[in-house]
Structure 1
Amino acid sequence: MTEQVTGAPGPAARKIAPASTWGAELRTMFTLAWPLVIAQLAQNALTTTDVIMTGWLGPDFLAAGTLATTFLMPFLVGGIGIVSAVAPLVAQARGARDIKAVRRVVRQGMWAAILIAAMLVPFLWQIKPIFAALGQDPAITLMSEQYIQTAVWMLFPALAIIALRSLLSAFDSTRIILLITVGGVVFNAGLNYALIFGNFGFPRLELRGSAVATVLTNALMFGLMLLYVLRHRRFKRFNIMIRFWKPDWPRFRQIFRIGTPIGLTVLAEVGLFTAAALLMGLLGTDEVAAHAVALQSASMAFMVPLGLGIAATVRVGVAYGRTDPEGVRKAGWTAFALGTGFMTLSCIVFLTMGPVIVSWFLDPRSAANANALGLAATFLVVAGFFQIVDGAQVVAAHALRGLSDTKVPMVVAIVGYWLIGLPVAYFLGFELGWRGVGIWLGLAAGLGSVAVVLVARFAMRERLGLMRTMA
């Protein structure tokens, strides 16, 4: 999202007027953010559906699916970060009215998606020896391998979707993205129900059925998005599939040059949670299942400040572009107030309704789930407290991106998550014997340290020279 602001803004960005008062900024921010929030929630619902339905199979299946997707996720989001560089490049081409550049950027973005997926598939197939070296349970590892062997094929459509989504977003056509994503959620839920449990005459594939549903859902979403781009009168003029195999090496390299910092920043955070899941795997199946439930609940709440953060990037970036330091101040702190305000509410919900929430994922009537349910409710208490710092760090990071400040936040994220969060998680979880609770407290320590530094950096933006180029 950084370069969507630092690049040349399209007409939609130029139409966003300065907010003269805090109330006006609040209204503008909310209007801009709510469609983004819904889109993020819909995207996250795809994973939530998988977690819920595999949880119905039992803790072993949920643990295996969680470890498999946790292993896959860092590579997926890293690839998404790289391909998302298509968005600012298309926006710049739109500003220059360069139809040929739009076509070439999107095409090379799809090339990048294909290359990244092709490089990742052989590596991800090595999950079994990797998990064995990490000391994971052999039975759970075997089930995870069965899931990954199928699920890796979703990388090709999932990454290609980012290139098409960037094109649609740059031309303000976000409603179709939301509709396709919501349709994907419904399709994925139905296919999961059919293939996991053998309903409607389909074979009972259990965990592998969830993987098949994930691949087919992403393929369907990509197909619908591509069909829209090729058939809609606004986008068919770009002819993105004409001479698809014709290379444009400068733009191909540019996508990787712009996208890599985005991918590394997100990868640092996702990698921390991957490491936490692997640490949970050393404790036992119930701990992994409980971790999956708590993490999925926390990630759903996280989608709201994430959507607000994206809106903050736009608002701060537009104010920065029009040399309006007061607009930067209002936009950044308004988004921060909305994000942390919502996360305070989610904190209260987690603290007061933990047992109810975890019962949505694991059947409380089954005696086999009793330990996992208790652990998940305990983890949600810790998750409730780190909701506030999690919301603060994501909004602050996006506000700084609006000022073109990305390199230092990337270093802050790497240090905070890997030199503070992970060591604290290991020390509390294993050295002090606090087990899963200690690991979650380590996650909170990492998120909290990053939040403090990034919020302070935004507050000190003028003293640090982040506004210097505005003049």
Structure 2
Amino acid sequence: MHTDTIEAQKAPLSPGGWERELRATLMLAWPLALTNLSQIALVLTDTLFLGRIGELPLAAVTLGGNLYFIALSPAFGAAFAASAMLAQERGRVRHHMREMRRTVRAAAWLGLPLFLVLGTLLWNTGALLLAAGQDPALAAEAQRYNRALLWGMPFFYGFAVLRGFLAAMGRPAPALWVSALAIGVNAALLYVLVAGGLGVSSMGVVGAGLSSAIANGSMLLGLALWIMRDRQLSRFRLMGRFWRADWRRIGEMVAVGLPIAGSMLLEIGIFSATALVMGWFNPTAVAAHAVALQVASACFMVPMGIGQAATARVGLAAGADDAQAAWRAGWVAIGLGGGFMALTATVLLLLPGPVAALFLAPELGEARALAATLLMVAGVFQLSDGVQAVAAGALRGLKDTRLPLLFAALGYWGLGLPIGLGLGFPGGWGPLGVWIGLASGLAVVAVLMTLRWAQLAGRGRTRPIRLAVQPG
């Protein structure tokens, strides 16, 4: 029988109780969270190697990496939009293979023009950083890093799309295994290309960029091979008839994904802007910010994974037109995310010094002390950061992305950055004041996101919105 006519298995909505939903969310979330952690581990590994070389390479990679992730925001938006669409398509049960294949294919089509634009942007990293008032030496090193790193962008995007497909299928583990393998690939390459292992001359920041790009390529290749060799997943023929563009579906992906990209751009941008502000102080402030940000980002990967699970679980329920299941899935995920971040907050508040010492050499005592102070602020905003990430994921499951964009604009840029600048410069608090502003903005976004979810989900008995956008 042709695969397009095969009926789907019943989507796993776990009807009938909070315990079942909790179990289902955990089974989906933990591989996604560990996959996210493995991806941030690539950057953390770069930081560990470069932090032993000196402040300049570490600061340059921090600035370049921030710009890289800003440029990657549209790709994240498209990938997350594809994830929401895939989850709803599977939840609708009938003809899900055909619909999901078309969505993956549309995501691939959308990625082609994205990277022509994004690659051009990153190629000119030095000019952009100079325009932002950065030190010429820092800007030059950051450009060298990004010109090596940017070749891995298409691979990472493809990996993110396939990971969303597997999440919708309830099969997140393969993405975890190939990501874990990529950590080893990156570490081995860093040892050779950055640390000068095996007698090879160190390539510095260029070696770090190439290592990450190759590791991203290994993730996409590994996941694609896994899907092709899996008996159930290979029947989807995800790249079948790739030459046929589905413009309606691409348009829907853009409509859902643009606000997601905007929200991510605003969130990533606020931390990147903070890195630029740190550059106005001194390289020590940039290095301390880099450590605190990497640790906070590593903690954030877990609620981000729970949010991705929420997108899949809420999307499955929405596709099946089950408001009660969608309501339950969202609140379970929000509770999980908040609970985990309460634990990480405790660790950062109690042990900031030892955590900072993991990343900075003993002779960088001033940077260590400042990093420890910033880590305590990061501990304060952990709960807010986790709740807003999971609530945003639940809202994506309903394809509700426009108001979250406005919330991000208000919280991060309307409140967080002005408060941080005011405390940091006129207030005389320096880098600490800037981070207090970040914490304030995150708290506002968390409250607004949660209220929006409560408004749309209701009590699960009413239907305040049309849950699923049916295929046209």
Partner of 2:345: 347
SS at match of 2:14: coil
d(CA) in 1 for partners of 2:300, 2:410: 21
Deviation at 1:287, TM superposition (A): 0.5
Partner of 1:87: 83
Distance 1:321-1:112 versus aligned 2 partners, 3 A rule: closer
Question: Which amino acid in the other structure matches residue 400 of structure 2?
Answer: D
Deviation at 1:242, TM superposition (A): 5.2
Partner of 1:7: none
**Cα offsets for 1:356-409 (capped at 9, x unmatched):** 101111112x2xx11110110010111110111111212222233344433212
Q: TM-score, normalised by structure 2?
A: 0.88
1:146 aligns with 2:141: no
1:69 to 61, 65, 83: 65
1:387 aligns with 2:385: no
Partner of 2:210: 212
d(CA) in 2 for partners of 1:459, 1:428: 33
Deviation at 1:115, TM superposition (A): 1.6
Deviation at 1:322, TM superposition (A): 6.5
Partner of 1:298: 296
Distance 1:13-1:447 versus aligned 2 partners, 3 A rule: farther
Question: Which amino acid in the other structure matches residue 116 of structure 1?
Answer: L
Range 326-335 or range 293-302, more displaced: 326-335
1:449 aligns with 2:444: yes
Partner of 2:222: 224
Distance 1:151-1:24 versus aligned 2 partners, 3 A rule: closer
Partner of 2:177: 179
Partner of 1:78: 74
Question: Which amino acid in the other structure matches residue 283 of structure 1?
Answer: F
d(CA) in 1 for partners of 2:371, 2:414: 26
Partner of 1:202: 200
1:17 aligns with 2:26: no
Distance 1:278-1:227 versus aligned 2 partners, 3 A rule: same
Deviation at 1:225, TM superposition (A): 2.4
d(CA) in 1 for partners of 2:346, 2:21: 27
2:118 to 117, 120, 124: 120
Distance 1:470-1:155 versus aligned 2 partners, 3 A rule: closer
Question: Which amino acid in the other structure matches residue 83 of structure 1?
Answer: A
Partner of 1:33: 29
SS at match of 1:160: helix
d(CA) in 2 for partners of 1:115, 1:35: 31
Partner of 1:161: 159
d(CA) in 2 for partners of 1:319, 1:227: 30
Deviation at 1:437, TM superposition (A): 0.4
Distance 1:270-1:93 versus aligned 2 partners, 3 A rule: same
**Cα offsets for 1:1-38 (capped at 9, x unmatched):** xxxxxxxxx96773222243x55544444334222222
Question: Which amino acid in the other structure matches residue 203 of structure 1?
Answer: S
d(CA) in 2 for partners of 1:455, 1:89: 22
d(CA) in 2 for partners of 1:269, 1:167: 25
d(CA) in 2 for partners of 1:333, 1:253: 30
Count of matched residue pairs? 457
d(CA) in 2 for partners of 1:466, 1:192: 54
Question: Which amino acid in the other structure matches residue 15 of structure 1?
Answer: P
Distance 1:165-1:348 versus aligned 2 partners, 3 A rule: closer
2:101–2:236 contact (8 Å) kept in structure 1: yes
Partner of 2:53: 57
Partner of 1:335: 333
Distance 1:12-1:70 versus aligned 2 partners, 3 A rule: farther
% identity of equivalent residues: 38
**Cα offsets for 1:63-113 (capped at 9, x unmatched):** 010000001101113212113433344456654436555444333322322
Partner of 1:250: 248
2:36–2:301 contact (8 Å) kept in structure 1: yes
Range 90-99 or range 202-211, more displaced: 90-99
Distance 1:321-1:273 versus aligned 2 partners, 3 A rule: same
Range 106-115 or range 431-440, more displaced: 106-115
d(CA) in 1 for partners of 2:275, 2:442: 16
Question: Which amino acid in the other structure matches residue 300 of structure 1?
Answer: A
1:109 aligns with 2:107: yes
Range 177-186 or range 22-31, more displaced: 22-31
Distance 1:138-1:308 versus aligned 2 partners, 3 A rule: same
Question: Which amino acid in the other structure matches residue 198 of structure 1?
Answer: G
Distance 1:279-1:244 versus aligned 2 partners, 3 A rule: same
1:458 aligns with 2:456: no
**Cα offsets for 1:295-331 (capped at 9, x unmatched):** 1111111122222223334444556666766655544
1:440 aligns with 2:435: yes
SS at match of 1:205: coil
1:29–1:335 contact (8 Å) kept in structure 2: yes
d(CA) in 1 for partners of 2:9, 2:308: 15
d(CA) in 2 for partners of 1:224, 1:304: 23
Question: Which amino acid in the other structure matches residue 71 of structure 2?
Answer: F
Question: Which amino acid in the other structure matches residue 61 of structure 2?
Answer: G
Range 66-75 or range 24-33, more displaced: 24-33
1:19–1:28 contact (8 Å) kept in structure 2: no
1:132 aligns with 2:130: yes
2:83–2:311 contact (8 Å) kept in structure 1: no
RMSD: 2.7
| 1:410-421 equivalence runs, <5 A | 410-421=405-416
Deviation at 1:210, TM superposition (A): 0.3
Q: TM-score, normalised by structure 1?
A: 0.88
Partner of 1:425: 420
Deviation at 1:445, TM superposition (A): 1.0
Question: Which amino acid in the other structure matches residue 196 of structure 1?
Answer: V
**Cα offsets for 1:251-295 (capped at 9, x unmatched):** 333332332222112222111111111111111101011001001
Partner of 1:3: none
Partner of 1:309: 307
1:18–1:327 contact (8 Å) kept in structure 2: yes
2:87–2:312 contact (8 Å) kept in structure 1: no
